[in-house]
Amino acid sequence: MSPIKLGNHLVGKGYPPFIVAEISGNHNQSIDRAIQIVEEAAKAGAHAIKLQTYTPDTMTLDLNEKDFKISDEASIWDNKSLYNLYQEAYTPWEWHEAIFNRCKELGILAFSTPFDNSAVDFLESLDVPCYKIASFECTDLPLIRRVAETKKPMVISTGMCTSAEIFEAVNAAKDAGCEDIILLKCTSTYPASPIHTNIKTIPHMKELFQCQVGLSDHTMGVGVAVASVALGAVLIEKHLTLSREDGGVDASFSMEPDELKVLVSETKKAWESLGKVHYGPTDVEQASLKFRRSLYVVEDLKEGDLLTEQNLKAIRPGHGLSPKYFPILLGKRVNRDIKKGSPVTWEIF
């Protein structure tokens, strides 16, 4: 499976995990804060910033009726109307260009999640390098087709999706002209629990859908993301805020800059540690071989003396014969005088 190019980065097997910092609504309706999040993401080593491009009116209706209100005591948005939630969280379209320009200045990729055709048209006017489809829009096949028509790489989150729904999304994207697809394993709860994350699905998704696969992670900390890299995740997406204490619609399940820095570092270490299937000493272990145990004479011996459990020991360093020969050598006569501390070799018999 070939790597996928996102901007100047290659994403896939053989390349470090691509780290995406999601701003979402963590700008708290301040463009200065949004720019600061970009700057902190770049400092932490993230490879990309992602926005969400919509307005409340492109998402839902301005109604406070049952269908349009969140009624879930377990939700951080309980009792909010959908319209008011999106009004609070959306990123004004007039901010996009300034945010994208700051990303360019800092050498960090910028892209977005469109939620309708008007958002795709707008993002095309800004020449975004790729697109993200949110989990909740994974079944919006007309939107996926519209994005695919741009011929740009597409990242698709799959929270809540059945395998059949993912097949439909992938096929819709490919049929409409998208050749480069990255699927993201995702659990659409906020925050998500590691228990419900099921990242063993990642290698299965890669095999089943023949796509690069990553993780959209709503859990706290870096453990799930690091583990996902060991299972083959090539892209990690996490929400980023300046401080959870500042509040905001997504703050409670977002990373802070110092945590993002750890994520970047630890996922790269996890990827580096995978290496290849290998047995025996590596090049860097060669110097350590001398500290293995080996057989040494531990008392002065005269020619003709017998080796016994008292004068033959397996000790460090490793310049003598392997300890596996200990029972074979007991009772053997030496053919020369030997000083205490001499390594045992075949030549002394």
Write out the chain's pLDDT in tens, 349 residues: 899 999 999 999 999 999 999 999 999 999 999 999 999 999 999 999 999 999 999 999 999 888 999 988 788 888 889 999 999 999 999 999 999 999 999 999 999 999 999 999 999 999 999 999 999 999 999 999 999 999 999 999 999 999 999 999 999 999 999 999 999 999 999 999 999 999 999 999 999 999 999 999 999 999 999 999 999 999 999 999 999 999 989 999 999 999 999 999 999 999 999 999 999 999 999 999 999 999 999 999 999 999 999 999 999 999 999 999 999 999 999 999 999 999 999 999 9
Crossing angle of helices 141-148 and 117-125, rounded to 10°: 20
CA distance 223 to 230: 11
- DSSP for residue 201: H
pLDDT at 342: 98
Using CB atoms within 10 Å of the CB of residue 67, give its burial: 0 to 12 exposed, 13 to 18 middle, 19+ buried. exposed
Q: What is the pLDDT of residue 301?
A: 97
- Cα atoms found within 13 Å of the Cα of residue 64, Cβ hemisphere only: 3
In sequence order, which residues have a C-beta less than 8 Å from that of residue 47 and are 6 or more positions away?
6, 9, 18, 19, 20, 108, 109
**The pTM of the whole model exceeds 0.85:** yes
Give pLDDT, residue 22: 98
C-beta separation of 3 from 182 below 8 A: no
Long-range contacts, 206-212 (Cβ 8 Å, 24+): 206/1, 206/232, 208/163, 209/166, 209/167, 209/170, 209/183, 210/1, 211/1, 211/170, 211/181, 211/182, 211/183, 212/1, 212/3, 212/4, 212/11, 212/12, 212/181, 212/182, 212/183
Nearest to 14 by CA among 28, 1, 27, 31: 1
Residue 257: what pLDDT? 98
**Residue 299: per-residue pLDDT:** 98
CB 99 within 8 A of CB 38: yes
State phi, psi for 243 to the nearest 5 degrees: -160, 130
Distances 67 to 70, 87, 137 between C-alpha atoms, Å: 8, 17, 18
